[in-house]
Amino acid sequence: MNEEYQYVGVVTHYFDRISVAVIQLEGELFVDDRVLIYGPRTELEQQVRSMELEHQKIDRGAPGEDIAIKVDEPVRDGDEVYVILEDEDEEY
């Protein structure tokens, strides 16, 4: 199964005590999406389990919004965020 990546935004802040990343979105992001957070010292793949906008739970983040997600490992300001797109049409 091949994986493709679609750029959706950048980490603008990381709250280490609560393991939350703030992401400035340039594309759509949904709860349950699989993401790759990638930077010079970061390579984290995980599922988006919850998302907040201004302390309110949301299911979808839109371009231009600064959303917050809980992350499994530390990330850094400037890390890029990609949605992992699985190509399920590859099987014959």
Residue-wise pLDDT for 23-82, tens only, equals 999 999 999 999 999 999 999 999 999 999 999 999 999 999 999 999 999 999 999 999
pLDDT band of residue 89 (cuts 50, 70, 90) is low
Q: Which pTM does this prediction carry?
A: 0.90
Instruction: Count CB-CB contacts under 10 A for residue 24.
Output: 17
Q: How many domains does the chain have?
A: 1
CATH assignment of the domain containing 9:
2.40.30.10
Domain membership of residue 7 as a residue range: 2-90
Give CA–CA dist 64/74, Å, rounded: 24
